[in-house]
Structures are given as C-alpha cells and as structure tokens.
C-alpha cells in the first residue's frame, strides 16, 4: 500500500482544492475572475506575489511555476470571497 507523508498529503489536498475553486470561479466569472471575486487591493497584492514568486523561481531554474492567482492567495482571502 502506498504511504504518503502528512505534509505531502496536505500540499496535494491544498493544490486540488485551489484547482477546483479556480475552475468553478472561472466558469462563473470568466477568465478575469480574480477582479470579480477579490477587492481590487487584494487582487493587486496577489498578482504582485505571483510575479515576485515567478521571477524568483525561474531564476532558480524551476521548470513549472503556477500561473493561477489562486495559487498565491492565502486561504483567509479565499474564505472571504
């Protein structure tokens, strides 16, 4: 039987939940759903974090960087929408 470490299981669940939320919100609000769901100030901050992380990770040679803003939002942000 496959054994998975708790941290890995939690990260996998978190990614799956973010993907589900992103898909549902994109279907409801369209491609720019972040502007529809989050207050402007929060959307700008989330996009800034995404750009900063993307720059940092690509400089280190990371091949895959999440493009969804939701990947960079905190769960308290998600619960508020």
Q: What is the pLDDT of residues 35-58, one digit of tens each?
A: 888 889 988 998 898 888 888 877
Q: CA of 3: how far to CAs of 6, 8, 9, 15, in Å?
A: 10, 10, 10, 19
Task: Note the pLDDT of residue 27.
Answer: 94
pTM of the model: 0.71
Under-70 pLDDT residues of the chain? 1, 62-63, 80-81
Report the distance separating Cα 73 and Cα 12, nearest Å.
16
| DSSP per-residue codes, the chain | -----HHHHHHHHHHHHHHHHHHHHHHHH-TTHHHHHS-HHHHHHHHHHHHHHHHHHHHTT-S-----GGGGS-HHHHHH-
């Amino acid at each position: 039987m496959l054994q998975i470490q708790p941290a890995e299981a939690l990260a996998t669940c978190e990614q799956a939940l973010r993907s589900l939320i992103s898909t549902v919100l994109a279907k409801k609000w369209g491609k720019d759903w972040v502007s529809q769901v989050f207050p402007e100030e929060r959307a700008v901050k989330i996009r800034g974090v995404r750009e900063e992380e993307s720059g940092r990770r690509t400089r280190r040679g990371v091949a895959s960087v999440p493009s969804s803003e939701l990947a960079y939002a905190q769960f308290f942000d998600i619960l508020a929408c």
